[in-house]
Each structure stands twice: as C-alpha cells, then as structure tokens.
Amino acid sequence: MPAEAYDVIVVGGGTAGAFAAATVASEGLSVALLERKSEDERGHIACGDAVKGKSTFPDTIDLDYLREESFTNESITSARFENPQSGESLDFGFGGVTGAVVDRKRYGEVLLEETDRQGATINYDTVVHDVIQDDRVRGVKATRNGSVTNYEAEIVIDAAGALSLLQDKADFSESTFDTNVNYTQFCSAYREVIELDEPVDWADTLVFKPTEELGYLWYFPRSATEINVGLGFQMNKPPMKLVEVLKDDLKKRAEFAGARVKNKLGAALPTRRPYDSAVAPGYLAVGDAAAHVNPITGGGIPGAANAGYWAANAAIAAIEAGTPDDEDALWEYNHQVMTGFGKRFAAMDLYNIWGSGTELDEILDVVTKLPAEHFAETVAKSGSTAMGMATKVKTAVKTFGHWGMLYDLHRVNQKATELKTIYDDYPTTASGLADWQQRRDDVLDEVYEITGADPKY
C-alpha cells in the first residue's frame, strides 16, 4: 500500500481545516489537506452564511481578499425574532457593530485558494475511512482515484465535521479526548438559497423564527434579492419534515412569491457545549468536529477559524519540541478554546437545556415580553447578563402568569454566569481536567434540577 508522509495531516477542507492547514504551511512545515469533495464542489457546505457582530479571523490568509470575494452583504445591523403564534416581532441591534452574510461556496473556495498559496498540498476526491494508530495517532487511510493510500504524519488535525468518522475509528481510551458525544446533542438542518425579483425591505436584518423541536427558521439576506433560508431541529426530539416546514413558511411570506431556488443542501451540526478536551496523542479536533458552534444559533465560522489557527500552532510547537505524543504539549489549544469562545458557548448551552424542559408556547409568550437588549445579550451574545430594577418591574408586570418559569430562567442565567467563571479556570495541564469537570458537572446538576430537563451528557 503506497504511503505519503507529512508533518501534519488535516482531514476536511472547511473553515477550521483550511485555517489549520494554511497556518502549518505558512510556518514552513509540510501539510496535506484531505478533502472528500471534488475541486469543483469545494466550499459547497450547508451553512446559514451569517457572520454576526465583531467577528475576528486569524491573518494567516489574505483577509481583504476573502472579504472582497465572498462577503456579499456587510450591512447587517440587527436581528429579528418572530413569534409564530402571535405574529409579533422582536427587533434588537448589534450595539453599533455590523455583521455580514457571505457566499459560502465562494468563501470556501477562497480559503482553499489561500491554503494552496501558503504551500499546503490539497488532495480533493479523497475519502478518509480509517485511522493509523499504535501508541498514538500516526495518520489516516484514505481512498483517492480508486487507490488506498496511507497518509502518515506527526499530528493529525480532525476537521471532518459533525460526528466525525475519525472519532469512531480512533481509540481514545488512554487519553483525555471527550468521548461523551452522541447524536442527540446535534441538530439536523436544511437550507436553500433563493432568488427574488424584488428586494426585501429587511436587507440589514437577520430573521429568526422558532419552530417545534427546539429548532428555528432563518432568513439571512446575502443581498436584498438573494436570501439564505433554512431551518433545523434537535435530534433529541421527534423528526421534523424540514423541507415541508420551510416551504410552508415561505408560502406565507408575500415577499417570496415567485422565488427561485438556486441551491439546496442539508447537514448536521453540533448544538452542545465544546468538547471538554479535543486533544489526544498525535491528534487534535477542530470546528464542528469538536463542537465549536454556538448551540443556540448554530453559528460557527469565526470559532472554527480561530480553532484551526490555535490547533495548528499547538501542533507546530509540539512537532518542533519533538513531543507530538504528549497531550500536555497540545493542551494550550484546549485552554485557548475554553477560555475564549468555549465558555460563552457552554453558557449558552444551558439555555438549550432549559428549553428542552419548557413548553415552547410558554417560551414564546415570555420571550416577546422580555426587553430586546436583555434577551439578545443573554441568549445570543454573552450567555448571561443582569437586568436593572426598573426593567425587572416592567417585565414582571408584562409576564404575569409566567413568573415561575421566568424565575427558573433567572436562576439558569445565574448558573450561566457561574459556569463562565469555571471555564475561565480551565486547567493548564491534562492532570487537572477531572477536578475541573466535577466542578462544571456540579453546576449542570443544579441546572437539571431547576429545569426538570433530562441530562444532556
């Protein structure tokens, strides 16, 4: 069986994989990126396409080129929450900053162009089907053009997406790598890109509409006449007929009369906290493969970009030190994720747990009566926030009849703040993980008691 050897193998050519491979190559190490899609299909990924707020990307690639080529709408200043029962809408701004919507395929193409420009080897039409491992992961087996090849490396970076096959094949029993993962912690999603004859009057707004099964519809304007529309549901709930639900909602919107579908695609994505540890000897996981996704909105582009960059730097440092088989040599990557966006995503996961133990009708009735800024800050931005006394009084009057539920939400909010503090104390070495997990799990037990929800992990 033929073999190819590199310093690093990256599996998957999405955001995290491209940033990882580009970073490794930019530092002069050899790296191969293995992508199952053809070169023509590169970048074609089911995604909402939105980049919200002050998102930052590593400068390993030409960010100006990326923006010029793929950011189609950089005028997003607000979001809209639609109540499907009352017909009411809740609008809130982004605090003076702007978000963007991208052409996801062109975005992906540019990332891979830049990865190639940095000197990485990119193999398209390459399907990985096994892991090479002894005392640590040493590479992968893949089929390309009908031929099976061993791709050997000092370190493998898993950017293979949600429920990665590599994690089914690798043996993590002697590592800290998080294996407390199952399909019920994920979401099934479907999206279409549609084209309109007349512009919408909300081209500066991201529109969200809750659905059954802890899901939501989205309407994200790539431009005033090209809209990314989609929805998803959590896999711990009964299956939803995604295409039918989306079509039914589109028919109810006058602005979509005569709309033409340009593209359609489905996917799975994490709606859970980031992995407690995404490293093992010779191995790191990034992006969707490590649940680096906002569990409320499904947004994962900026987190994936940074995770790929951080993982690559950890891999480079370990290879140069001759310690790719040492988890502690890779641990800084875990620490950067958890004390960075990881703590915010973990806090937001508590609202997902709260939602699973609360009736949708009651959630919708209360949410539209909360102050817009409070709702946005709590659930969509930071994961926790405080409410002033005057606002508390006004909210109490409006939400009469739901005080018990609102009190539970207040207590979950307190636990989210506490949880973020625990994530700030994420251990600096693998030896401290078990004690840290116990502190975190104590908070989760209290959340389950408050919400009545079934344990998620």
56 within domain boundaries: yes
Task: Note whether 249 and 292 are same-domain residues.
Answer: no
Task: Note whether 167 and 26 are same-domain residues.
Answer: yes
Instruction: Tell me what pLDDT residue 53 has.
Output: 59
Mean pLDDT of the chain: 89
Which of 59-63, 275-279, 348-352, 388-392 shows the lowest mean pLDDT across its residues? 388-392
Task: Note whether 193 and 242 are same-domain residues.
Answer: yes
Task: Note whether 248 and 126 are same-domain residues.
Answer: no
Residue 392: pLDDT over 50: no
Instruction: Tell me what pLDDT residue 363 has.
Output: 61
224 within domain boundaries: yes
> Percent of the chain scored above 70 by pLDDT?
88
Residue ranges of E strands in 104-160 = 121-123, 126-133, 137-144, 147-158
pLDDT tier for residue 72 given thresholds of 50, 70 and 90: very high
Instruction: Tell me what pLDDT residue 361 has.
Output: 63
Q: Residue 55 is encoded by which pair of tokens?
A: 């998102």
376 within domain boundaries: yes
Task: Note whether 166 and 229 are same-domain residues.
Answer: no
86 within domain boundaries: no
> Percent of the chain scored above 90 by pLDDT?
72
89 within domain boundaries: no
* Of the residues 322, 339, 356, the one at which a domain ends: 339
Instruction: Tell me what pLDDT residue 366 has.
Output: 59
pLDDT tier for residue 151 given thresholds of 50, 70 and 90: very high
DSSP string, 233-263: EETTS----HHHHHHHHHHT-GGGTT-EEEE
Q: What are the tens digits of pLDDT across the range 15-61?
A: 999 999 999 999 999 999 999 999 999 999 888 888 875 568 999 99
* Of the residues 339, 365, 395, the one at which a domain ends: 339
Task: Note whether 137 and 211 are same-domain residues.
Answer: no
CA–CA separation, 104 vs 101, rounded Å? 9
CA–CA separation, 435 vs 241, rounded Å? 42
Residue 391: pLDDT over 50: no
Q: Please provide residue 71's backbone torsions phi and psi, each rounded to the nearest 5 degrees.
A: -85, 105
Query: Per-residue pLDDT averaged across 265-271, rounded?
Result: 92
Query: Per-residue pLDDT averaged across 71-97, rounded?
Result: 85
Residue 170 sits in a domain of what CATH number? 3.50.50.60
Task: Note whether 171 and 320 are same-domain residues.
Answer: yes
79 within domain boundaries: no
Task: Note whether 9 and 108 are same-domain residues.
Answer: yes
CA–CA separation, 74 vs 53, rounded Å? 10
Task: Note whether 257 and 363 are same-domain residues.
Answer: no
Task: Note whether 159 and 203 are same-domain residues.
Answer: no
- Cα-Cα-Cα-Cα torsion 145, 158, 381, 23, nearest 10 degrees, comes to -90
Instruction: Tell me what pLDDT residue 389 has.
Output: 43
Domain of 207 in residue numbering reads as 184-270
CA–CA separation, 33 vs 15, rounded Å? 12
Strand partners, 97: none
Task: Note whether 199 and 173 are same-domain residues.
Answer: no
More confident residue, 166 or 355: 166
Task: Note whether 232 and 362 are same-domain residues.
Answer: no
* Of the residues 214, 238, 270, the one at which a domain ends: 270
168 within domain boundaries: yes
Instruction: Tell me what pLDDT residue 407 has.
Output: 78
Query: Per-residue pLDDT averaged across 307-311, rounded?
Result: 98
Domain tally, the chain: 3
96 within domain boundaries: no
What pTM was estimated for this model as a whole?
0.91
